[in-house]
Structure formats: C-alpha cells, structure tokens
Structure 1
Amino acid sequence: MQLVSMKEKLASYGQEHLLAHYDTLSQEQQAQLIKELEELDFDEVIEYFQRATSDLDSVGQKLDDKMNPLDDSQCGSIIKSTDEELIHYQNLSLAEIGAGHVGILLLAGGQGTRLGVSYPKGMYNVGLPSDKTLFQLQAERILKLERLAAQETGKSGKITWYIMTSASTVGPTQKFFKDNDYFGLSKENIIVFQQGTLPCFTFEGKIILGEKHKISRAPDGNGGLYRALRTEGVLEDMKKRGIKYIQLYCVDNILVRVGDPVFIGYCLSKGAECANKVVRKQFPTEAVGITCKVDDHYQVVEYSEITTKSAELSNKDGSLVYSAANICIHFFTLEFLERVVTTNERLLQHHVAKKKIPYVNEKGDLIKPSEPNGIKMEKFVFDVFRFAENFVVWECLRDEEFAPLKNAEGAKDCTPSYCRNAVLALHQKWLKMAGAEIISTSGDEAPLMTSPASEGNNNLDSNGKEVEEVVITEISPLVSYAGEGLEPLVSGKQFTTPLHLSC
C-alpha cells in the first residue's frame, strides 16, 4: 500500500523515475528510498527549481541602472570614528554580553579540499608559533570577550556559539571540540548543527538519482542557514536563552573579531536590525561583492553583475562610489532573524550552479558525465538584506580584520603563509603601539611589518619594501582580544623574536 501510494504521488509530480529500480533493491534499500521520498517536500523543492530556473535567462545581466550607493547616514567606519565613539560602541556591546544577550553564528560547513586536506577547515593550522587552529583562535577570542565583559560590567554572561556544519563536517567538528575540551568554553554553550541539502535536478526538472536507492543531493548554500535555524531548533534555543543580538561570520577568516564589540555596538547605537561589516575595495575591478541598494532593497552585488564603468565611479574626493566590499560578517537582531525564518525564508531566490552530476541511468548504470547535466541550487546568506528596514554597514580595516584562508601554498593569494603573516604583522603592530621594542634574530630592531596583500604573499615593511625575514610575534587571544591591555605587560620592554606572548 505504501509503495502504491508513493507511485501515485510521484506521478503527480512527474517524478516516477525515482522508483524505476525499486524491484532490484534489497528490503533495507527499499525502505531507505521510501523514507527519503516521504520526507521530501515535493511542493517546496519543485517550486524552488521552477523559480530558480525561470531567472536563468537574466543571469549575467548587469545591474548598473538599478543600483544606488548607501546613504552616508548608514555607513560607519573605524577610521572616521573618534576614540570616545569607539569606547561607547564597545561598552554598549559588553553590557549586552554581560547580560547573556549575544550569540555568535559560525558558518563552518566547508572541508579543506582546496588546502589539500580532507578535514573541516576550522581544524586547519596555518603554522603560527602556537600551532593553534582556526577553531582554537576563534574559541579563545570568545573566551576573552566574555572575560572583558565580566570585567567591565561585573556580570559573567556567556556567549552562545552556534556552529553550522555540513553532513561531511558535523562529526569531525564535534569530535574535535570534545577532544580539545571545548578550548575552555562551556560545552553547553557550543551548539553544533547541520545545514540542509536539496535534491539535484536535470535541466528538464527531473530529480536526479545518485544511486538506485538514493536521491542526489547537494548542500543548500550558506543561505541554507535560515532553513536550518528552523529545522534544527536553533532559533528556539536562542529565544530560550534570551539572546537578542547575533553576529555571523565564516570560519576561514583568521583575523575575524568574533563577536566584535565595536561592530555590534555601532549597530546597537543605530537601532539596526541587520548590518554588514565591510572593507574598502582595493581597486575598482577587485573581484569582490559590494554592498549597495538595488531597486530600493539592500543587496550584495557580485563584481560580475556591474560594468567596469560603474565599478570605477568615484566621489569628489576620489574614493569609489561602490567601495563597501562584503567579507561575510553580519549582524542581526533576533527579531529580524525570526521574521526571516518564519516569513521570508521561502521567498529567497535560489542561485543555480550548472554541474556535472553523477546519475543512475535507465539501465541502472552509474554514469559520470563529462559535461554539465544538471543543476544544484543554493541560497546566499546575505540575500536576507533585502528584507531589512533598518540596515547599516561598518567599515573595518582590512589588514586588521580580514585575511581569508582559501588555497594551498603555491597559489597567488589566501594561502596559509599569507594568513600566518597577516597575524604576525598585526600582532607586531599591537606590540609597537603598546610601547614594546622588538629585536629581530639579527640583533637589530625589527622592521615594522605590514599585512601581506591579498594577492601575493611577499613580506613587506611599513615602507612597502620586501624584506627577507618574517618578524615572528604572536599574541594569544587570551592575553589580548584586539590589542587592548598590552601596555602594562610590554611598555618600555625589549623582546627578541621569535616571540609568543601567552597567558
């Protein structure tokens, strides 16, 4: 009866082929296939396919005529803010952290395939003196932020860290945190959950069989976060814990200020429900998405969606009109997230990727195509900006807050050595600003390094000249979150490299 009912259901959606090999399956495989089909919301996924493919003709269309820059009143900046304003923003955040109102969302679904490893990227060690992984650096920044909030407010509120993984990274991620005793954080405040998947489709709208008893699936993109917040019970957990404000970021940024109190405080001061932290574009044609308005909605527009003419538009002072480069660090209020999850999520447009997807043919043979034969659908996490009514951006300094790990050594950018040198240069800067004297291995005062450019991994001094020696200076996040509190430790003192300042 169950099989007859399923055949009728599939026929109504034009998907009868999904049971084409049913009679050749074992009982266990038959049960597995029926269960997967029963759990699939055909109305939803077919609607996704139809909407996504209806816009394929517009892919590549330029958006110049629909775009406008953000209003100045919406744009804050670390450079343009006074010390008093920055302290005010930080204190606003620390008060909320102390009260337990802040949560952090980490997108950590990717494996380190491009780095040449098979484990989650958060477990990668770029070769700092401490040998700390991305996960450990980020965990310790959260722990330090909790301590700063307790010191400032007298309240020991905890930050809840929500980590979204994929099917391939959820197990290794959970084990890694357990094996490392959660890096000093409370186990109950680290919530690991899994993003969803969507069926792969042929260009004609048929769901692809990856095996005789399994549908071919692919992760639903980082924008699948919002669906997962509902289906994995994360939104309800946030509400139960009394969380009001959430910062989101990606795991691969080694310089990320997790739970950045200045960014969050700026958002609080503006009454924003949604915000994007950005860096300034380095040059007009840099391959980054920019934050702007499109048809009066806030949006991240990819570099391929505008012409060179628009990319080169400049203000009277010579700065680029469209300069707010997206680095995937966002702020949301819980009220905004709840509205997105319960009302807006299904309205998000899926982006189509044409791929070579292995499939089972009519004879039951597994075919690995040499040309794209189907599509995978995914949503982007920043696509919810369009639903925001009160939206702001905060511009930070690239060399202090953005160095993504993407590629193995030998690539032109975003390599482990690039990320490592970005950390070492930043920490040397902190030490110099705190009054320390750094002596290199040659016995001379070390030249002040600058963070390496995003393209290329050369080590430069403050005058832009290439130097042979990398100045090894690392500061544990448990000592300083963002350069604060170093003066009593290092002012007027001389240190010889390599230096690792730990607790």
Structure 2
Amino acid sequence: MLLPPPAPARVRELLGRAGQPEVLRFWEQLSAEERRLLEAAVQQLEAGPLRDHCQEAAAAATARHREQGQGAAPGGGGGGGTHRNMQPLPGEVTGSTARTEPHRLDNWRDRGFHEISENRVAVLLLAGGQGTRLGVSYPKGMYDVGLPSGKTLYQIQAERIRKVQQLAEERLGKKCVVPWYIMTSEFTLEPTKKFFAQHNYFGLVESNVVMFEQQMLPAVDFNGKIILEQKGRIAMAPDGNGGLYRALMNNKILEDMDRRGICFVHVYCVDNILVKLADPVFIGFCVEKGADCGAKVVEKAYPTEPVGVVCLVDGIYQVVEYSEVSQETVEQRNPDGGLTFNAGNICNHFFTVDFLKSVTEEFEPQLKRHIAVKKIPYVDEQGNTVRPDVPNGIKMEKFVFDVFQFSKNFVAFEVLREDEFSPLKNADSAGSKDTPSTTRRALLWQHYRWAVRAGAHFLDSNNMRIPHLSQLQEAEELPAVCEISPLVSSEGEGLEKYLKDREFHSPLLLTEDALVALGQHQ
C-alpha cells in the first residue's frame, strides 16, 4: 500500500516558522484534492504576519480572561471602563438634517449633485459577511425581507444608484455615472457575481460595478492555535470591514478610481435598508466643509443603546464602543437635557480618494485589530466535527472607522434614524431588534409617510379613509402598506402630481409602470 506523500517542504516550513505545525496533523488522512486545497490555502499566508496574528489573538484571549476574572464587563454592558478625556463632537464639525435651515440643505444638495454630475463620486459597499445570524448561507445583500415587491437589498441599492444618476442628469443636463465598488470576501464573491449576472446587474452597466475581495485571516483558539473546521480546511474569516484599506491596495481599486476621475467615495454597509446611496446632501456638506473624512450619525435612542459613539478622545476623533464607557459617562447630559455623547455610529462614511491613498500608503499598518469571540465549528483530535455551544475561538478584525484618527479635517452629519437607519442583523426568531420584520416595517413606514405627505389617502375594506398616522404614533401594524420603487422617488420627491387627493387601497406598490397608469387616469 502506497503511503500518501508528505506535505511539501515549503508548506511545512511556513507553518513551522509561524508556530502552527498542527495544521498538518491530518495530512495523511486527506484525499489528493483536500491536500491540494490545504496547500493552496497555506501558501496564501505569510509566516511572519501569521505568527504575529496568532500570538496577538492568544494575548487578547488572555487579557479578556483576566478582565472577566476581575469582574470587568466583558463587552456590551455599559460600564466596562472609561476612556480618558472623552469630549462630544464640537459644533463646528457637525451638520444635521433636522437642525439646518432648508436653504442650507438645498445648497449642500446642489453641491452634491454637481459633484455627481461631474463623475467625481463613487459608492463603496462593505459586503464581506455572510447572513449567518439571519440563518442563511448566502450573502446578506441577496436577502429578501418580505417587501411586496420581493426586492433584495442588492436590488434596492442598485435602483437607488440609478435614481441618483437620473436626478443629477435632470438637474444639470449631463449624463453621469456613479460607479459601485463592492467589497466581498471569499464567502461572498462568487455568489454575489452570479446573483448580479442573473439579474442583469439590476439595470446598471456591468463595467461600473466593480467587485473585489478582502483578505481572509485564520480563526484562532484561545491558545493561539489555528482552528481547523475540517481535517483539511482552515477556519477562515474576513478581516473586518477595516480590511477595506488593504483590499483597496491589493486589488488596485484606487488606481481604478483615478482612471475614472473619482474624488469622493461614499462607504456604507450592506445591511442598512434605508441607506441613501451617494446622498447629495451628505456629499455636498462634506465637500463644502473641505472634509477628507466624514461620518453619518444618528441620535442614540436611549442612553444605554449598545452602539458606538463618535466623539473626541484626547483630541482625536474616533468611535468609542459602548462597552468601553462607564455608566456615568453613558448617562451624562447637557443643560438642555440631551445626552452629551449622543452621536451613534451607523457605518456610513465619506472619504476623499486622496485620504484613502494616505491611509493605504502610510497608516494602514497602524490600525489596531479588535477581538471578536465566536463559536467556531472545529474538528477535534479524533477528526470529529464539533459545533460548540460556547465561544471557543477568536477572529481578529479591523474596523473601517478606525481611520478617523488620521483625518486632517473630520466632519459628522446627523440624520434622522427613521429616515436613514434600519440595519438587518438577526433572524426574526432571534428577537425584536434589527430583524427582517423591523427593517421591512421601517421601509414601509417611510414610504407611507412619503405618500401621505404627497396628499394620498388610503381606504379600508369598507372604502372609508384611514386616519393618517405619524411616525411618532407608530404602531406594530402599519395603517396601510405602501412601497415606492427607488426608481420612482429617492426621498419622497415628485409624488404629488400622481398621489395628491387620490385614494388608494392597501397595498400600494408604486412602480414606474404604476406611475404611467396613474398619469393616464389623471
């Protein structure tokens, strides 16, 4: 009986230098194809960085264990510690949709549309994660939250890009393009490519949809050893949304932006169903302020809401996680009664291309890694697959907002949560927060408000008008179901001539074809 060949010397050497020879412990039991795939995976890694990564994860696990043993909050509790010299954002770097005069908002909108019309604006989607917490194995952007139209997050976002291009062209008479850069991971690249191809890129030009892949890093146990999820497969995970900066460099994305003449980039996460793509007001505000880096924020819903806060720490802009702030600081209020640290981070950012270049060329190695303690399936010493009930390993991540510290002119822009922020994170079975039901309801409430504001009236089953309800009166059940295609309206504009003083039964699905029919019956 022939014995399987030993692992190639270069693979053994690399893992030995990284202190991870155990990765090959099942080598002799692997098929030829499994050995080939494991060899290829190992050769994607570098010995020095891999050794540092594993040692850093082990040290983080030790520090976390020590903190828990001392009774510190292990994360998410409000009271885990206090950052030195935390200060709220100064007024001169902040803007707001709710507290700004309409004419100033119009000026920012005009400036944003001008930049879009000149082909200087791109959007960049962070879409490296799977829908694991939703209970699905495919990318989160492919998820259908149950809207009447059946549209997925990807389709909604694609149509919003098409609409902002159309509005810019109508305003300034120039045909323009907002390129869509999509950062995927090993898990999401191929499914996303196939999904877009199957749907003909949702009406966008294929060459203007640029997909690229972020780096993957091995998951590590609490002793700093690489976890095998199968005998011949390393448990890998995306390196966090802060992996964007290395991915921009590795995939030559900034060079592509230069070729297209892009100056400004709007970066956002895939899971926010209310996100405004290339929002002209946000773009215009940042450009008018001369910002190189900006963040959209929402007012915290309540003092202990577990969201990061955008603030100053020792004079440096950053996001402080809720678990890192004392209860006293969380509850601190201004003389007017408002929370002192109130700028909730929603992972919605503005960057100049020049700033992104400086990050990739100079600052990226300085970004710290954050630990994420996870339940990671693994094979035990007998080769059996184990699905742990408690966290057993660490994934090291970088965060996209950790570059705020390098900004020379940082700004923040506060928007209304009900208009712009409803993330999809959990399955409906997991609770009542950030689920398909809550995101669907947020979008339908928004569209109901648009329709009512435009003068529409909804009828019940007895053809009686349903009393109008405001968002402040939001009930579990919507007064009426109304979905408005992004191709019809981006934020409620242009609806009056079709809806004013007209009556509709629920559900109302307002598409481009429906507008034609309404126009014919005026």
Unmatched tracts of structure 2, length 5 or more = 1-5, 68-73, 75-79, 513-522
Structure 2 equivalent of residue 426 of structure 1? 446
Distance (Å, rounded) in 2 between the aligned partners of 1:363 and 1:120: 32
Given that 1:291 and 1:300 are in contact with CA atoms closer than 8 Å, whether structure 2 keeps it comes out as: yes
Report the Cα offset of residue 77 of structure 1: 0.4
Change (3 A) 1:115 1:5: closer
The answer to which of 69-78 and 422-431 deviates more is 422-431
User: Is it true that 1:405 corresponds to 2:424 in the alignment?
Assistant: yes
Q: What is the 5 A alignment of 1:72-221?
A: 72-221=91-240
User: Which residue type is aligned with residue 302 of structure 1?
Assistant: E
The answer to which of 189-198 and 123-132 deviates more is 123-132
- Helix, strand or coil for the counterpart of 1:386? helix
Distance (Å, rounded) in 1 between the aligned partners of 2:55 and 2:481: 54
Report the Cα offset of residue 48 of structure 1: 3.4
Given that 1:428 and 1:448 are in contact with CA atoms closer than 8 Å, whether structure 2 keeps it comes out as: no
Picking from 444, 468, 480, the partner of 2:464 is: 444
- Deviations 1:185-216, CA, capped at 9 Å, x for gaps: 11111112222210222333333344444333
Picking from 510, 513, 517, the partner of 1:501 is: 510
Given that 1:52 and 1:349 are in contact with CA atoms closer than 8 Å, whether structure 2 keeps it comes out as: no
Structure 2 equivalent of residue 274 of structure 1? 293
Change (3 A) 1:441 1:384: farther
User: Which residue type is aligned with residue 243 of structure 2?
Assistant: G
Picking from 45, 51, 56, the partner of 1:46 is: 51
Change (3 A) 1:9 1:406: closer
The answer to which of 5-14 and 331-340 deviates more is 5-14
Change (3 A) 1:496 1:198: same
Given that 1:52 and 1:350 are in contact with CA atoms closer than 8 Å, whether structure 2 keeps it comes out as: no
Distance (Å, rounded) in 1 between the aligned partners of 2:383 and 2:481: 58
Distance (Å, rounded) in 2 between the aligned partners of 1:490 and 1:354: 51
Q: What is the 5 A alignment of 1:1-16?
A: 3-16=8-21
Distance (Å, rounded) in 2 between the aligned partners of 1:304 and 1:197: 26
User: Is it true that 1:300 corresponds to 2:301 in the alignment?
Assistant: no
Identity %: 47
Report the Cα offset of residue 434 of structure 1: 2.4
Distance (Å, rounded) in 2 between the aligned partners of 1:398 and 1:406: 16
Distance (Å, rounded) in 2 between the aligned partners of 1:304 and 1:77: 26
Change (3 A) 1:6 1:170: closer
The answer to which of 370-379 and 168-177 deviates more is 370-379
Change (3 A) 1:294 1:54: farther
Distance (Å, rounded) in 2 between the aligned partners of 1:8 and 1:408: 44
The answer to which of 114-123 and 85-94 deviates more is 114-123
Given that 1:103 and 1:245 are in contact with CA atoms closer than 8 Å, whether structure 2 keeps it comes out as: yes
Distance (Å, rounded) in 1 between the aligned partners of 2:27 and 2:57: 30
Picking from 392, 405, 414, the partner of 2:434 is: 414
Q: What is the 5 A alignment of 1:295-444?
A: 295-359=314-378, 372-410=391-429, 411-444=431-464
Report the Cα offset of residue 23 of structure 1: 4.7
- Helix, strand or coil for the counterpart of 2:440? helix
Change (3 A) 1:408 1:375: closer
Report the Cα offset of residue 243 of structure 1: 1.1
Report the Cα offset of residue 261 of structure 1: 0.9
Distance (Å, rounded) in 2 between the aligned partners of 1:111 and 1:66: 37
Change (3 A) 1:48 1:450: farther
Report the Cα offset of residue 471 of structure 1: 0.9
Report the Cα offset of residue 394 of structure 1: 0.5
Report the Cα offset of residue 33 of structure 1: 3.5
User: Which residue type is aligned with residue 502 of structure 1?
Assistant: T
Given that 1:404 and 1:419 are in contact with CA atoms closer than 8 Å, whether structure 2 keeps it comes out as: yes
Distance (Å, rounded) in 1 between the aligned partners of 2:125 and 2:381: 42
Given that 2:377 and 2:387 are in contact with CA atoms closer than 8 Å, whether structure 1 keeps it comes out as: yes
Given that 1:52 and 1:351 are in contact with CA atoms closer than 8 Å, whether structure 2 keeps it comes out as: no
User: Which residue type is aligned with residue 433 of structure 1?
Assistant: R
Structure 2 equivalent of residue 291 of structure 1? 310
**Length-normalised TM-score, structure 1:** 0.90
**Length-normalised TM-score, structure 2:** 0.87
Distance (Å, rounded) in 2 between the aligned partners of 1:113 and 1:421: 22
Distance (Å, rounded) in 1 between the aligned partners of 2:20 and 2:474: 63
- Deviations 1:363-412, CA, capped at 9 Å, x for gaps: 66656666544322111221121221211110001111111222333522
Report the Cα offset of residue 356 of structure 1: 4.4
Report the Cα offset of residue 20 of structure 1: 4.0
Change (3 A) 1:476 1:38: closer
Picking from 258, 276, 295, the partner of 2:277 is: 258
- Helix, strand or coil for the counterpart of 1:474? strand
Distance (Å, rounded) in 2 between the aligned partners of 1:127 and 1:368: 30
The answer to which of 61-70 and 356-365 deviates more is 356-365
- Helix, strand or coil for the counterpart of 2:146? coil
User: Which residue type is aligned with residue 475 of structure 1?
Assistant: I
Change (3 A) 1:356 1:399: closer
User: Which residue type is aligned with residue 11 of structure 1?
Assistant: G
User: Which residue type is aligned with residue 405 of structure 2?
Assistant: R
Distance (Å, rounded) in 1 between the aligned partners of 2:130 and 2:55: 30
- Helix, strand or coil for the counterpart of 1:65? coil
The answer to which of 21-30 and 246-255 deviates more is 21-30
Structure 1 equivalent of residue 517 of structure 2? none
- Helix, strand or coil for the counterpart of 1:277? strand
Given that 1:421 and 1:470 are in contact with CA atoms closer than 8 Å, whether structure 2 keeps it comes out as: no
User: Which residue type is aligned with residue 480 of structure 1?
Assistant: S
How many residue pairs get aligned? The number is 492
User: Is it true that 1:490 corresponds to 2:499 in the alignment?
Assistant: yes
Distance (Å, rounded) in 2 between the aligned partners of 1:355 and 1:262: 39
Distance (Å, rounded) in 2 between the aligned partners of 1:444 and 1:355: 53
Structure 1 equivalent of residue 3 of structure 2? none
User: Is it true that 1:35 corresponds to 2:40 in the alignment?
Assistant: yes
Structure 2 equivalent of residue 481 of structure 1? 490
User: Which residue type is aligned with residue 38 of structure 1?
Assistant: Q
Change (3 A) 1:437 1:32: closer
Change (3 A) 1:417 1:14: closer
- Helix, strand or coil for the counterpart of 1:132? coil
The answer to which of 6-15 and 407-416 deviates more is 6-15
RMSD, aligned CA? 2.5
Distance (Å, rounded) in 2 between the aligned partners of 1:397 and 1:235: 32
Change (3 A) 1:37 1:168: closer
Report the Cα offset of residue 321 of structure 1: 0.7
